[in-house]
Amino acid sequence: MYIQAFVLFFLFIVPIPRTEAQNEQVEGRVIRNIVFMRTEGLGMAELFYNHSKDKKIRELCSRIKSYYTATQPDAVELCTGKNLQLAESEFELLYGRLQKGFEGYDPQKEGAYLEVCEDHINKSITFYTQLVQDAASEDISYFSFKALPELFNLQQEIRKVRKQYPNPLAKVKP
């Protein structure tokens, strides 16, 4: 009986240490996700800015772009010295997908585009919050912690602007 309890204790309670290579792989995947989320958010903001004629939406998009510009040095530092295996074709595919979402842009559906932007910001908040809670690595946690306040501010700004556009007519997927 004691042996079974001892085995269960080690299987479920005592964490199994990861090797340095496993830690680097996990960290690399997390940083890749950060890079792609940032790329998607910036691309979405730029395309929305270029298509919309609404002053408040354009101001919001400018603020989102400013957020990415302001946090870019920290993001680059996070990536420094890491082999993230990022291919330019992956970014082209992502941007192509975003562009396709803005084909046939209809100002009547700006509420739906705002909803997609808000969903992206919400996912970023959830992701960064989880990274801070997990404390996976000091650098990633610190970057996430610094990124969160402005993401919460952007979330609130999107919600304010969305009040102009209740009940989007159709969902879009930029």
Model-level pTM?
A: 0.78
SS (H, E, C) 121-132: HHHHHHHHHHHH
Q: DSSP code of 18?
A: P
Write the single-letter amino acid at 102.
F
Residue 47: the pLDDT is: 95
* Planar angle of CA 27, 28, 29, nearest 5 degrees: 90
Secondary structure (3-state) at 169: coil
Write the single-letter amino acid at 65.
K
For the stretch 129-161, pLDDT in tens is: 998 888 768 888 888 999 999 999 999 999 999
Residue 173: the pLDDT is: 54
For the stretch 22-77, pLDDT in tens is: 567 778 788 888 988 999 999 999 999 999 999 999 999 999 999 999 999 888 88
